[in-house]
């Protein structure tokens, strides 16, 4: 069973130290039981990092309209009962379970602040400037702010499908972004600049061998990447190969829309 001190050691092994800025993607289930639970893991990150941020996305607030712009990587009118199950986005709406318990614990930390995008919010401690950089039109601005601040991305029990910085690389490389809709107390809000599908992201791994740092916790390997280099590498690959990092599922509307837009441009 791992404890707070194990996590402190692992973060130090990754080269993280006082003053580090950390973007976390964690899936703690892969670690088994931790003494002190999620709070112990969060405590270690907050003890080591000056700035600690995690995505607290809420696709639970997403609405699928009956009509909308074309080439938008989705099927309109396909929501069925999901629209009536959508939740109103409020600042205290929990992050989707897929974001992991650590992101949700960070959101709930007394000293944490959350940005207010109805689908793509981030929560953080010591991250006020990073979080206020986000706008409805520029949902990935916190990643840009973290990259300029030389942050590191930590993948703990998570693979690159959780690595939202790769979405920022896609945007930088000019890849098509999408429009989605969110339910809020002020009505249904149109959200531009929404990135596509992450299912193909694990293909980046080999290209990041030169910049990855690894540490182990029992059977689990924890990885850390300098965010600026990660974005630079991924954006460079996408510029060279417009199909880089797309998934192979025939039925994926978002990856199909990206492929179609790449063909149009070439």
- Residues in touch with Zn ion (CB under 5 A): 197, 199, 247, 252, 255
The C-alpha atoms of residue 200 and residue 181 are separated, in whole angstroms, by 24
**Sheet containing 62-63: which strands, arranged edge to edge?**
62-63, 178-184, 187-194
Q: Which residue has the closest beta carbon to Zn ion? A: 197
Compute the least distance from the CB of residue 80 to Zn ion, in Å.
Answer: 21
Please state the closest distance from residue 223 (CB atom) to Zn ion, in A: 23
**What is the longest distance spanned by two Cα atoms in the chain?**
54
Q: Report how far residue 23's alpha carbon sits from residue 155's, in angstroms, rounded to the nearest whole number.
A: 9
CB crowding 57-70: b at 16 or more within 10 Å, else e: bbbbbbbbeeeeee
Burial grade of 46 (CB within 10 A; 0-12, 13-18, 19 or more): middle
**Minimum distance between the CB of residue 170 and Zn ion, rounded to whole angstroms?**
12
Closest CA relative to residue 28, chosen from 12, 50, 16, 10: 10
Minimum distance from residue 247 beta carbon to Zn ion (Å) = 3
CB of 164 to Zn ion, least distance (A): 15
**Which ranges of the chain would DSSP assign to H, the alpha helix?**
4-13, 37-48, 82-85, 101-108, 128-132, 141-148, 165-172, 227-240, 253-265
**DSSP code string of 118-160:** SSS-EEEES-HHHHHT--SS-TTHHHHHHHHTT-EEEEES--G
Q: How far is the CB of 263 from Zn ion (least distance, A)?
A: 16
Shortest distance in whole angstroms from residue 147 CB to Zn ion: 24
Q: What torsion, rounded to 10 degrees, do the Cα atoms 27, 123, 183, 138 define?
A: -110
């Amino acid at each position: 069973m791992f404890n707070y001190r194990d996590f402190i050691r692992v973060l130090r092994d990754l080269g993280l130290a006082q003053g580090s800025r950390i973007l976390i993607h964690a899936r703690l289930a892969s670690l088994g039981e931790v003494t002190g639970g999620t709070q112990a893991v969060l405590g270690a990150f907050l003890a080591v990092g000056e700035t600690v941020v995690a995505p607290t996305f809420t696709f639970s607030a997403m609405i699928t309209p009956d009509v909308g712009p074309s080439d938008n990587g989705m099927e309109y009118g396909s929501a069925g009962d999901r629209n009536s199950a959508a939740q109103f986005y409020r600042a205290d709406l929990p992050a989707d379970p897929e974001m992991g318990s650590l992101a949700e614990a960070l959101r709930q930390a007394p000293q944490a602040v959350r940005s207010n995008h109805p689908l793509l919010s981030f929560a953080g401690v010591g991250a006020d400037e990073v979080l206020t950089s986000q706008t409805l039109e520029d949902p990935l601005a916190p990643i840009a702010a973290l990259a300029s601040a030389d942050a590191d991305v930590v993948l703990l029990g998570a693979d690159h499908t959780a690595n939202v910085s790769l979405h920022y690389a896609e945007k930088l490389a000019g890849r098509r972004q999408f429009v989605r809709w969110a339910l809020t107390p002020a009505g249904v809000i149109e959200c531009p600049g929404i990135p596509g599908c992450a299912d193909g992201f694990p293909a980046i791994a080999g290209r990041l061998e030169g910049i990855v740092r690894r540490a182990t916790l029992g059977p689990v390997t924890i990885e850390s990447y300098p965010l600026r280099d990660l974005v630079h590498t991924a954006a460079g690959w996408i510029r060279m190969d417009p199909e880089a990092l797309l998934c192979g599922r025939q039925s994926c509307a978002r990856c199909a829309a990206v492929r179609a837009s790449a063909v149009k441009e070439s």
